[in-house]
Amino acid sequence: MHLMYFTEQPMKDYPQDAGNDIGFTSLLMSNKHFNPVDGSRLYNEFLENYVYAEEMGVDGIMLNEHHNAPFCMQAKANIFASLLAGMTKRVKIVLLGNPLPLNDNPVRLAEELAMIDMISKGRLVSGFVRGGGQEQLATNANPAHNRERFQEAHDLIVKAWTVPGPHRWEGKHYHQRVVNPWALPLQQPHPRIWIPGVISQETVIWAARHGYPYICLNTSIEDTKKIWARYDQTAAEVGYTPGSEHRGYLIRCHVAETEEKALETARQYLWMDGEFTGRLKPVWASPSGYFSPSSRQNFVEFVAGQSASPSRPRKTFEQQIDDMQIVAGTPEQVVKNLRIIMRETRPGIMAFWGNEGRMTQADARTSIRLLGQEVMPALRETAKELDLKCPFEANMPVSRAYAEAARATAAE
């Protein structure tokens, strides 16, 4: 089983009252509220925690990016990935991921990722995402072209990594006179590609057709099973049977020496009104052509366990603890709940969302230490009992395309 550490890298020291006064904390909230002194301190604290997580035994560091909002300071995941490629020795550097539709030059991105893979000596996992609705506005991307650009950029990057140049690319959204990057990945045929997501059935289907692992982002157990049903159905249609190596799960998880302390600190998962993206106007999250406003409601319910609709009132912290969308407690209590999640959802990849809101650095490091020393060893034993294997343990091909190519070569 592959166990990862994750944080959104929140700008926790911003003046939250300012967001409450204007009614939103993203996109158009003025960056005059950003303090670079605090930002510098926080960036370095996050780096220290990632290195500490490796020391405590995690298998991977999960990174992502968002824009124009205090809930996530990481505006370019590849920068932290580059730093960690040199600062760490063993952990996988798991990008979940680069928002492809926001990138106007996928070949340049392919080169960046190849450099990270070489510097890390082959430890990169290159996940790709569509990017949230407000990300389209923050980066001046056309949301109506989001999915088309995602799929075309993916195809161009994989070709740049695997087909010797020079060659030309003339697509609908990307036009490259010369595709001939000299920076190529150390891993062959290319780094593994994992796809994270929440509510988009189209993305689940796309990932299944490619044979890519799909990482559920803090979905409930019930909704996670629905995602796996869709994934399994698609896999059967294209001719293979997926296993735990195709399944990943991100869970908000905080561990402390006492239950009282863990629950007190874990309430920070509900900062900024319980929405991990902060307060924002629905039209920003669902710009024309991206998806419907109702999908934004579903997104909030899935990821943060919240709902503002009269028919489904917001889940309280206690309710989210009860349904295990937040797991918090002593190591023994956390292991008990995580074992239930593992038995019900059977992931070969599990990520611990371990730091959020205004959690102190001391509390974050205590949780990392207890995860490494007491929680993860117990989960590894459970994974063996349940035969839960990650893509590396299962010797899983990087994609269905290369598995089919390998079979064809062997048959010749």
Residue 174's φ and ψ, nearest 5 degrees, are -130, 140
Give strand ranges (E) for 267-307: none
Residue with tokens 């909230």: 29
Distance (Å) of CA 184 to CA 119, 159, 164 = 11, 11, 10
CA 341 to chain centre: 18
**How many whole angstroms separate alpha carbon 64 and alpha carbon 273?**
22
Report which secondary-structure segment, H or E, holds 195. Answer: strand 195-197
End-to-end CA distance of the chain: 34
Tens-digit pLDDT string for the chain (412 aa): 999 999 999 988 788 788 888 888 888 989 999 999 999 999 999 999 999 999 999 999 999 999 988 889 999 999 999 999 999 999 999 999 999 999 999 999 999 999 999 999 999 999 999 988 888 888 888 999 999 999 999 999 999 999 999 999 999 999 999 999 999 999 999 999 999 998 789 999 999 999 999 999 999 999 999 999 999 999 999 999 999 999 999 999 999 999 999 999 999 998 876 555 677 777 787 787 887 454 555 555 544 444 444 444 668 899 999 999 999 999 999 999 999 999 999 999 999 999 998 999 999 999 999 999 999 999 999 999 999 999 999 999 888 877 777 677 666 6
Residue 261 burial (C-beta neighbours within 10 Å; 0-12, 13-18, 19+) = middle
CATH number (domain holding residue 361): 3.20.20.30
Residue with tokens 């996928």: 106
Distance (Å) of CA 371 to CA 22, 108, 166 = 39, 37, 47
pLDDT score recorded for residue 169: 98
Residue with tokens 């908000």: 252
Q: Is 121 left (phi over 0), alpha (psi -120 to 50) or beta?
A: left
pLDDT score recorded for residue 277: 64
Report which secondary-structure segment, H or E, holds 44. Answer: helix 36-55
Q: Structure pTM?
A: 0.92
3-class DSSP state of 114: helix
pLDDT score recorded for residue 280: 75
pLDDT score recorded for residue 283: 79
By the 8 A CB rule, do 283 and 385 touch?
Answer: no
pLDDT score recorded for residue 47: 97
Buried/exposed 218-242: b ≥16 CB within 10 Å, e otherwise: bbbbebbeebbeebbebbeeeeeeb
Cis ω for the linkage preceding 331 (within 30 of 0): no
User: How many structural domains does the chain have?
Assistant: 1
**How many whole angstroms separate alpha carbon 78 and alpha carbon 24?**
28
Domain that holds residue 274: 2-411
